[in-house]
Every structure is written in structure tokens, then in C-alpha cells.
Amino acid sequence: MSQTIIFTDLDGTLLDHETYSFEKANEALRAIKSKEIPLVICSSKTRAEIEKIRIKLGNTGPFISENGGGIFIPDGYFGASEPNWEDAGGGCALIRLGAKYDDLRDAIVKLRSTGFYIRGFGDMAADEVAELAGLDLADAELAKLREFDEPFTFYGADKESLRRAIEQLGLHHTMGRYHHILGDSDKGKAVSILAGMYRRKFGDITTVGIGDSPNDVPMLLAVDVPVVVQQPDGKYHPEVEAPGIRHAGGIGPAGWNKAVLEIMSQR
């Protein structure tokens, strides 16, 4: 039987939208740990934020930060390091797929000068990010340690002309909990690269991807078993579609729990 690998979004998916708790997924988390099924975090959060959550989860494997901007691989996890891997410190190698953060900040300033009232995390003090995200101040500091992707707020109605203006700068737009401006990276490209490495490690693999928002769609298109969880209002995001997508039948981590237990029982 093939080895299952689970790729998961965090905000609104494994973590509750309001409380950021994964408690409702504990049963499935225990089950995959006992079966040694790798769980790969694939989030728009920063490396620093994800590392903190990995400790809480007891997760020691590779992870993907900032909407596919960086793949972090613990030293030795896939054997010797490869030429395109950078030493990222902290016992990790980095495969860089994302834009340079400074270029994204320049783009935010440019877009604002053309009349889009947008504010990136780089424009906000930590207490403003904390207020916006419902995080404590220490976690807001971690959220501001951006490397490859800039989340921003935009309360204007014309999302389509904002998207076009971003594309004209040679960059891309996606939506998670916030708007994001990013380079040529997305969650799907990062997942495909990591899945290739897992295939070399294990041979036959089956990849599962779980998300809730448009920024998860490239990941859901890149896996064998795509899963969408419900948003806090109990609805599925209308833009989250993929062939053969499974509806988790629960909100955030509760849906995650249900879907993962169901997939495991079927395999």
C-alpha cells in the first residue's frame, strides 16, 4: 500500500478561524502520528509562526511557509542537501520559490500611490497586526517576519482592478484570511516539489491536501485527494474547487478531524 502524505493549510483549516486552536482535530492528529503519516504544514504564515505551531503539534518534518514561498527541510530528512538548497539556519535547509520581500514592499507602495488604499503587514506596527489578526503581541511580531509574501488589507470594492494592477507589476494576488501579494510561487508548486521528494523516499505515495480558501486551490489541484473544510459560517468557499474534491462535513479543525479519520479508514 502506498504511503499517505498529508499537506495542510493552517488558518481556518487545521486551526480554528477565531481561536487558532487545533483541539478539535486532536483525534485525527493522534491517529496519523501513531501510523507515522507525515503531516506537512503548507500555510501563508511565516517560518517563525509555523515553527511555534510545529512545536505545539510535535511536528518535526518539512513545512511550506508564506503561500509556497519557502520549503523548509530539516537537515537529513531527505538525505544529503541538493545544490538548490540554501542553509536557512536552525538545522533547516530552504528551497526558495517566493519573491524578494523588499520587491513586494516596493509594489505595495507603488499600488498605494496609484490610488489603492492598501496596507501591508510591513506598514503596520505589531499591535495593529495583533488587533487585525486576533493574535497576541508576541505572535504578531512573528507574523511580521515576512520573507516571500506580503499580506495586506484592502477594503475597496474593485478587487478585479487591484488584481490587474498587481499582475501589471509582474506579481500575483491571492486570498486567504487576507489579500496577499506574491511572486511566481504558490502552494501547489511547493507541494509538488515536496511530493517528488517523498516519492523518492517512500516509492508509491498518496497525497492528501486540506484547505479552506482560494490560496489553497493550487495545493488542492496538486494532490491526489483534495479536501475542503467549511468556513465559520458552515459554507464552503465558492472559489475552492478541484476535480474530485471531498467536502469535509465540518468547520475548520472539526472538518479536518472528520475528513482525515474517514480517509484513513478507507485506506
Closer of 213 and 257 to Mg ion (Cβ)? 213
How near is the Cβ of 67 to Mg ion at its closest, in Å? 10
Q: Whose CA is closest to 166, among 253, 107, 87?
A: 107
| 30: exposed, middle or buried (Cβ count in 10 Å: 0-12, 13-18, 19+) | exposed
Pinpoint the alpha helices (H) of the chain.
26-34, 47-57, 101-113, 126-133, 137-143, 159-168, 187-202, 217-222, 252-266
What gap in Å lies between CA 224 and CA 209, rounded to an integer? 8
Question: How many residues line the site for Mg ion (CB under 5 A)?
Answer: 6
Binding part of the chain for Mg ion, among 16-24, 63-71, 181-189, 212-220 by CB under 5 A, reads 212-220
Q: Any catalytic annotation for residue 9?
A: yes
What gap in Å lies between CA 39 and CA 253, rounded to an integer? 14
Site for Mg ion (CB under 5 A): which residue of 12, 69, 70, 120? Answer: 12
Binding mask 124-163 for Mg ion (x = CB under 5 A): ----------------------------------------
Binding part of the chain for Mg ion, among 1-9, 71-79, 154-162, 242-250 by CB under 5 A, reads 1-9
Q: Whose CA is closest to 14, among 245, 203, 264, 248?
A: 248
Binding mask 156-195 for Mg ion (x = CB under 5 A): --------------------x-------------------
Binding part of the chain for Mg ion, among 11-19, 79-87, 93-101, 195-203 by CB under 5 A, reads 11-19
Neighbours of 33 (CB within 10 A): 13
Residues that bind Mg ion (CB under 5 A): 9, 11-12, 176, 212-213
